Amino acid sequence: MAATVIPGQLIDVTDVGSTSDPKLLLKCDAFRLMRLVLPKGKELPTHTAPKQIVVQCVSGRVDFTALEKTHAMTAGSLLYLDSGEPHALVALEDSVMLVTLAN
């Protein structure tokens, strides 16, 4: 569960600590924001999300496969997917990703 976030409060998405577990940073009526810390070589096999998602690479380099194409995501790149779209990824470097899920 995410700590209570007050509107206007800053969240440091780079403060990853010592865990690579997905972390819920923010949950509100419209969306949920999660941070994924992916060590080099970590793979997430093909899966889907029940609603639309936006995936952003904060740091590192990740190959993200969706819509029959592999995208090389690097810091600052962003990808939108419709609900139910199969996707998979592999971290080519230690990476930090943000995932915004529609509610």
pLDDT tens column, 50-63: 999 999 999 999 99
Q: Cα angle vertex 84, ends 20, 2, to 5°?
A: 35
- Each residue's pLDDT tens digit, 68-79: 999 999 999 999
Which three-class secondary structure state does DSSP give residue 19? coil
What mean pLDDT comes out for the span 63-89?
97
In whole numbers, what is the pLDDT of the chain averaged over residues?
90
Mean pLDDT of 2-6: 62
pTM of the complete model: 0.87
Confidence class of residue 5 from pLDDT cuts 50, 70 and 90?
confident
Residue 73, H or E segment: strand 69-74
User: Which domains does the chain show, CATH number per domain?
Assistant: 28-102 (2.60.120.10)
